[in-house]
Copies of this chain bind each other. A is one copy, B any other.
């Protein structure tokens, strides 16, 4: 069995919950590609499958996957939460282009370390953190010059 499925099943069993075909579909879809996604994108992909599933079910499945440690919310674009798998890929932060919407991932060990230092200073026990930098990507910087009227 695929590892993420095992993790999910274990999580559900431990909570007295069930591993249903719908939950499997959501899990499979998420792990069939890498990168970010939101609820709407998932629904678009899954609704037309044989025995598609409802939006409510996806909404109900997301927190389970998060608690199982398989996905996490990483940021918001146009006011919708974006998720990504956290199983298998190390933590990283994001550069988000305001213009084209592209997302670049990076990991800077030194920043991670400094964050821990800050937490220590406050006696704070960190659970998760999120760093997002918004701005203009390389490709968009030229076009952007003409429309700086915000």
* Residues of chain A whose beta carbon lies under 8 Å from any beta carbon of chain B: 67, 76, 95, 97-98, 104, 106, 108, 110-111, 114-115, 117-119, 121-138, 141, 150
Contact = CB atoms under 8 A, between A and B. Distances in A.
A59 B128 CA distance: 30
28 contacts: A67-B150, A76-B76, A95-B118, A95-B119, A97-B124, A98-B127, A106-B118, A106-B122, A108-B114, A108-B117, A110-B114, A114-B114, A115-B131, A118-B133, A119-B133, A122-B137, A122-B138, A123-B137, A123-B141, A124-B135, A125-B136, A125-B141, A126-B135, A127-B134, A129-B132, A129-B133, A130-B130, A131-B131
Given A108-B117, A129-B133, 5 more contacts: A95-B119, A106-B121, A123-B141, A124-B136, A126-B133
A123 B114 CA distance: 24
Nearest to A123: B138
A47 B119 CA distance: 39
So how many copies of this chain end up in the complex? 2
Contacts of A128: 133-135
Contacts of A76: 76
A134 B138 contact: no
